[in-house]
Amino acid sequence: MDIKVPAVGESVYEAVIARWFKKAGDVVAKDEALCEIETDKITLEVTAEADGVLSITAAEGETVKIGAVIGSIDARSPGAEPAQGGAESAAAAKPAGKPAAKPEAKPEAKPEAKPEAKPGTPGPMSPSGRKLARELGVEPGAVQGSGRGGRITNEDLIKAQGARAEVAEPGKAAAASVAPAAPTAAPKPAAPAAPAAPAGDPSGRVVRKPMSQIRKRIAERLVSVRQHTAMLTTFNEVDMSEVMKLRKKHGEHFQQRHNVKLGFMSLFVRACCAALQEFPDVNASIDGDDIVYHNYCDVGVAVGSERGLVVPVLRGAEKLSLAQIEQTIAGFAEKVRSNRIALADIEGGTFTISNGGVYGSMLSTPILNPPQSGVLGMHNIQERAVVVEGQVVVRPMMYLALSYDHRIVDGQGAVGFLKRVKEYIEDPEEMLLEC
């Protein structure tokens, strides 16, 4: 059975083999992750479609076309063939008194299959888990997974690393069971140092790595935005007191009822959808000499990943409830973490919201996601002294930034949109009653 590069979208024609999780000749099980491929938009895993022995024809780092064959799976079990062959030859030689050969053939076949099925091979892991294992210097094959189906979680890796550190200290015998992992893991940290030598700096002070396809694409798009749009940014600040009271009052009931936390993002999505209907230019895009106005709000929500920023899209966000928005965002975040995000999840979008506040950003200038004409940047919430009705009071404040394409949106429309979002957040009851 051939292993082919899956189609991930109409505009994607090639991919790079980022890494193979298995080696040629390894026994693989159906639905087991074989390799990770990287396109200029997404990274995804290729899984086995059948049990068998893996054969690899495309090496790591090789660029291949969509639909190209990168390996194959021999569905015949390596232990079963000799067993069948031995049985057939024994049957053919019945009179020769070879019944003794029959029991010998079966035991030989079974021991062969067992070592290949579990020779210290690691349990299922996510790409982020493999990265963490390399950073911690932990050999996945020596870690017992506690997740579903024996899946190795990040907590398993951290515990294994901590246990190994205890073994290194005298007088700590509690973690002696993890000691065998230390010798195998020790050479691993040295492996990343090898690529540094060809880069022309034997001291290892400089490491040169090829840019990933996603990072190349991000770089191209960011440069393109600066060259082909008239991007400006306007700022405002919003008092978060009322939405924080709303979350405190209804947050527990909301989570019990919908099995998801009530976050700020859903409230901002609703506020933006309401404001976009009042200021349609911010929800429009340029197509040639035409301006395309969208009578719907497909809102992209920026999600950070280890390979770069991913912006999955909430389709028809103006029709979604707060619970539906939070549940959809949580589903996207899990897909991003496990590299299961699909191209269909990130295509399109008429407006984008980016929350730099989760990383501690106080103020920034978000960059447009073409062909969209607007992107809202949320930032960190900080208590600041503000004047309210002639009195200096301390309030939780957040800076908001709206970057917009001045070719479509004029200053009045941009400022009006941002001011409307501010009003909705500072008086959320009005927004929730209208929606």
* DSSP summary character for residue 53: E
At 94, the pLDDT band (50, 70, 90 cuts) reads very low
253 vs 94: which has the higher pLDDT: 253
For 167-216, how does the pLDDT look when each residue is reduced to its tens digit (9 = 90+)?
554 444 443 333 344 444 444 444 444 444 444 567 788 988 887 777 77
pLDDT at 39: 78
| Averaged pLDDT, 372-394 | 95
pLDDT at 226: 82
Sign of CA dihedral 359, 362, 365, 366: positive
At 101, the pLDDT band (50, 70, 90 cuts) reads very low
Cβ(376)–Cβ(366) below 8 Å: yes
Whole-angstrom CA distances from 119 to 33, 80, 112, 400 are 17, 18, 11, 54
Distance CA 418, CA 416 (A): 6
For the chain, which domains are there? 80-117 (no CATH), 121-193 (4.10.320.10), 217-434 (3.30.559.10)
Cβ(251)–Cβ(262) below 8 Å: yes
pLDDT higher than 70, residue 372: yes
369 vs 430: which has the higher pLDDT: 369
Distance CA 103, CA 81 (A): 15
pLDDT at 298: 96
pLDDT higher than 80, residue 99: no
Distance CA 296, CA 143 (A): 49
| CA neighbor of 29 nearest in space, from 48, 1, 46 | 48
Cβ(358)–Cβ(388) below 8 Å: no
pLDDT at 128: 64
The catalytic residue positions are 406, 410
Distance between start and end Cα atoms, the chain: 53
Q: What phi and psi values does residue 256 have, to the nearest 5 degrees?
A: -65, -35
What percent of the chain is predicted at pLDDT more than 90? Answer: 38
| Averaged pLDDT, 99-120 | 45
For 39-60, how does the pLDDT look when each residue is reduced to its tens digit (9 = 90+)?
766 777 888 888 888 989 988 8
Q: What phi and psi values does residue 64 have, to the nearest 5 degrees?
A: -130, 155
Distance CA 11, CA 216 (A): 16
pLDDT higher than 90, residue 89: no
Which of 5-14, 65-74, 231-240, 274-283 has the least mean pLDDT?
5-14
222 vs 231: which has the higher pLDDT: 231
Which of 112-121, 194-203, 326-335, 339-348 has the least mean pLDDT?
112-121
pLDDT at 82: 44
pLDDT higher than 50, residue 112: no
pLDDT higher than 70, residue 229: yes
